[in-house]
Amino acid sequence: MNSKLIFTAIALPFLAVVFAFATTGVFTPPPIPGSHDVLPGAQRIHLPDAVGPESLVFDPSDGGPYTGVADGRILKWDGGDWVEFAVTSSQRHVLSHSIQQWSMYVEGRSARFHNKTGDLYIADAYLGLQEVGPTGGMASQLVTEVEGQHLRFTNDMDIDEEKNVIYFTDSSTEFYRRYFWINYSEVSSFRIFSSAFEFMQSILTIDKTGKLMKYDISTKQVTVLLRGLAFANGVALSKDRSFLLVSETTKRRILRFWLEGPNAGKHDTFAELAGFPDNIRRNSDGEFWVALHSKAGLLAQWATSYSLFGSALFKLPLNFKQLHYLFVGCKPHATAIKMSNEGKILRVLEDVEGKTLRFISEVEEKNGKLWIGSVLMPYIGIYTLQ
């Protein structure tokens, strides 16, 4: 008999038992040394009939923040309300005014302003790299395929305004993010169900088809810088523009790709983390804030270290909510990590019980405050640094 089939046959009943234990908290992710459980004190700003403010960005005049939400709109916070600034496609699904239950696409939508031109660039999970002018409106397509292959999971980006290039990631060439059914009776509750598991399958099978790429705004040419990444995710350029950071989410680490110096064109490990890194954002001091989607318990570590184990877990008769809960230790939470330019952990801020913030995707530091996004929640968080 095929060894993989034997392994699966053995693993399935074992994993069923593991799941039973996991739901009791046995596999709750361990605490991070030096962590401060202060994020329950964050303020929440809710979105109007929308969900998934993954990324937050301020314009060249410090207006905003702006955020992309799951229905394709780019919204701007004007200090008292959210107003529509741009849209990524006229064909997007129009959400019901009832936020109680809907079906939709949960898509990555990171955005960055080019501070010299005022243009907003958008990394859309399905539509690739896009651009919209300083006054907003309908976004235009820039890159939809690379090397003859359609971008399936465009994720995050950063801009080098001096060289006029955009660095961006495609998480997978095999899997789309697809769609999830979301149902919650109140904002503080979290229930998520899925009719397509490709996002989770990419993680559990340790898919290594992610890429880090460069788009030259002037020549419109794309260059692949790194291949074979296990869920390429967040991107951040160093303050001196000598290197790039990219989150390799499945491997729970951040890679450093050198752009200048004796190691130019090479990469190394910048940091290994206690969970699954999402977006990375640099502050004005050249330090980096890393948002963890969740910390990694023992089961999550096994599943993302051994593809056979992860594949067997995926084959269990579990819905997305159950699989997701295994990864987060059956307890929604929020973890933000501040790192030095050399990769040293400087600060860890958390909402351990998920009282205010959950499943954060990005942390943007601005004027003494942290602006915090989430690809799953219908609100952003604001935390005043002490």
Looking at residue 191, what is its pLDDT?
Answer: 33
Question: For residue range 92-136, what is the model confidence (pLDDT) as tens digits?
Answer: 544 433 333 333 344 457 999 999 999 999 999 888 999 999 999
Q: Report helix, strand or coil for 308.
A: helix
Q: For 29-46, how does the pLDDT look when each residue is reduced to its tens digit (9 = 90+)?
A: 788 999 999 999 999 999
**Cα(77)–Cα(210) distance, rounded to whole angstroms?**
32
Do residues 377 and 368 lie in contact, with contact meaning Cβ atoms separated by under 8 Å? Answer: no
Give 149-181 pLDDT, tens digit per residue.
888 789 999 999 999 999 999 987 665 444 333
User: Which two three-digit tokens encode residue 342?
Assistant: 């050399």
In this prediction, residue 16 has a pLDDT band, given cuts at 50, 70 and 90, of: low
DSSP 231-299: SEEEEEE-TTSSEEEEEEGGGTEEEEEE-SSTTTT-EEEEEE-SEEEEEEEE-TTS-EEEEEEEE--HH
Give the pLDDT of residue 12: 53
| Angle (nearest 5°) at CA 92 between 87 and 94 | 100
Q: What is the CATH number of domain 3-384?
A: 2.120.10.30
Nearest to residue 168, comparing CAs of 210, 208, 200? 210
Q: In the chain, pLDDT over 90 holds for what percent of residues?
A: 61
pLDDT at 184: 31
pLDDT digits (tens, 9 = 90+) for 210-229: 999 999 999 999 999 999 99
At what angle are helices 307-314 and 3-22 packed, to 10 degrees? 70
- Distance from C-alpha of 118 to C-alpha of 260, rounded to nearest angstrom: 27
Give the per-residue pLDDT at 301: 79
| Encoded tokens for 274 | 């206690």
Q: For 8, phi and psi rounded to 5 degrees?
A: -65, -40
pLDDT of residue 48: 86
Give the pLDDT confidence score for residue 43 in this predicted structure. Answer: 98
- Checking if the pLDDT of 266 tops 50, the result is yes
Q: Is the dihedral of CA 178, 206, 158, 154 positive or negative?
A: negative
* Model confidence band, residue 246 (pLDDT cutoffs 50, 70, 90): very high
**How far, CA to CA in Å, does 151 sit from each of 142, 146, 207, 209, 333?**
12, 7, 15, 11, 31
Complete DSSP assignment for 69-97 = -TTSEEEEE-SSSEEEEEES-TTSPPPPS
Task: Provide the residue ranges of all domains of the chain, joining segments of one domain with +.
Answer: 3-384
pLDDT at 185: 32
Indicate the pTM of the whole model: 0.86
Mean pLDDT of the chain: 83
Which ranges of the chain does DSSP label H, i.e. alpha helix? 3-22, 198-204, 298-303, 307-314, 320-328
Q: What confidence score (pLDDT) does residue 350 get?
A: 98
By CB atoms closer than 10 A (0-12, 13-18, 19+), residue 87 is: middle
Q: Parallel, antiparallel, or unpaired for β 275-282 and 128-132?
A: unpaired
Amino acid 145: pLDDT: 93
- Strand order across the 253-258 sheet: 232-237, 243-248, 253-258, 267-272
Residue 41 DSSP one-character state: G
Region 230-253 average pLDDT: 96
> Which segment, 108-112, 185-189, 234-238, 306-310, is predicted with the most confidence on average?
234-238
Kindly report, residue by residue over 58-103, the tens digit of the pLDDT.
999 999 999 999 888 999 999 999 999 999 887 654 443 333 333 3
DSSP helix/strand/coil, 230: coil
More confident position, 299 or 168:
168
